[in-house]
Amino acid sequence: MSDSPLVLGPMLRYTDETTAAVWVETANAVIVTVRMGARQWNARTFGVHGHHYALVELDGLEPGTSEEYEIVVDDRPVWPAPDAGHPASRIVTRDPKARLRMAWGSCRTSVPHDRKGNRRHGIDAMRTFALAMAEDAALRPDLILLLGDQVYADITTEAMQDFIRDKRDIREPPGTELKDFEEYAHLYRLAWSDPMNRWLLSTVPSAMIFDDHDVRDDWNASLSWKKSMEQTSWWHGRIVAGLASYWVYQHLGNLSPRERADDEIWQLIAAHDGPDEPDVTEALDAFADRVDREPTTYRFSYARDFGDIRLVVVDSRAARDLTPSDRALVDRVEWSWVDQQLRGDVRHLLVATSLPLLLPMGLHHVESWDEALAQGAWGRWFARIGERLRQMVDLEHWAAWQNSFRAMATSLTEVADGERGRAPETVTVLSGDVHYSYVAEIARDRGSRIVQAVCSPVRNPLPIVMRWFSVVMSYGVATPFGALAARSAKVPDPPFTWNTIAGPWFDNNLSVLQERPDGLDLSWHAGRVDDGDDLHPRIDQVARLELGARREERGRPRSQSPMAV
Average pLDDT, the chain: 93
How far apart (Å, rounded) are the C-alpha atoms in residues 181 and 55? 19
- Residues 151-161: pLDDT tens digits? 999 999 999 99
What are the distances in angstroms from CA 279 to CA 282, 509, 550? 8, 39, 54
DSSP readout, 552-565?
Answer: ------BTTBEEE-
Q: What is the span of the domain harbouring residue 328?
A: 113-138+300-565
- Report residue 550's pLDDT band, with 50, 70 and 90 as the boundaries: low
**What mean pLDDT is predicted for residues 243-263?**
98
Angle, alpha carbons 374-379-380 (nearest 5°): 70
The answer to whether 434 touches 356, Cβ cutoff 8 Å, is yes
pLDDT in the model for residue 410: 98
Distance CA(466)–CA(76), nearest Å, equals 50
Query: Does 194 fall in a domain?
Result: no
Q: Which of 55-64, 82-91, 307-316 has the lowest mean pLDDT?
A: 82-91
Q: Which range is least confidently modeled, 194-208, 461-475, 529-543?
A: 461-475
Task: Note whether residue 459 is domain-resident.
Answer: yes
- Is residue 555 very low, low, confident or very high in pLDDT (cuts 50, 70, 90)? very low
Residues near 119 by beta carbon (within 8 Å), at least 6 away in sequence: none
Tell me, what's the pLDDT at 84? 80
Contact 540, 527 (CB under 8 A): yes
For residue 186, what pLDDT band results from cuts at 50, 70 and 90? very high
pLDDT score for 549: 72
Backbone angles phi, psi at 538, to 5 degrees: -95, 155
SS3 149: coil
Share of the chain above pLDDT 90, in %: 88
Beta bridge partners of 438: 454
Query: Which tops the pLDDT comparison, 85 or 320?
Result: 320
The predicted pLDDT at position 477 comes to 64
Domain membership of residue 347 (yes or no) is yes
CA dist 503 and 488 (Å) reads 30
Residue 481 has pLDDT above 60, yes or no: yes
pLDDT score of 434 = 94
The dihedral built from the CA positions of residue 292, 297, 300 and 301, taken in this order, carries a sign that is positive
Q: Report yes or no on 404 lying in a domain.
A: yes
Indicate whether 497 belongs to any domain: yes
Domains: count for the chain: 1
Residue 565, domain member (yes or no): yes
56, pLDDT greater than 80: yes
User: What is the average pLDDT across 255-261?
Assistant: 98
pLDDT of residue 468: 75
pLDDT bracket for residue 522 (50, 70, 90) = very high
Average pLDDT on 373-384 reads 93
Closest by CA position to 354, among listed 105, 103, 523, 142: 105
Over residues 246-267, mean pLDDT:
98
Global confidence as pTM: 0.95
Give the span between the Cα atoms of 77 and 141, in whole angstroms.
27
* 427 has a pLDDT exceeding 80: yes
The answer, yes or no, to whether residue 5 has pLDDT greater than 50, is yes
DSSP string, 434-498: SSSEEEEEE--SSS-EEEEEE---SB-PPPHHHHHHHHHHHHSTHHHHHHHHHHHTTPPPPSS-E
pLDDT of res. 55:
98
- List the one residue out of 513, 538, 543 whose CA is nearest residue 207: 513
125: left (phi over 0), alpha (psi -120 to 50) or beta: alpha
Residue 466 pLDDT exceeds 90? no
With respect to residue 539, please indicate whether it lies within any of the assigned structural domains: yes
Average pLDDT over residues 442-462: 95
Residue 177 lies in a domain: no
Say which range, 207-216, 294-303, 355-364, has the weakest mean pLDDT. Answer: 355-364
- Who contacts 458 (Cβ-Cβ below 8 Å, separation ≥6)? 105, 106, 107, 108, 124, 125, 126, 146, 508, 509, 510
pLDDT at 558: 39
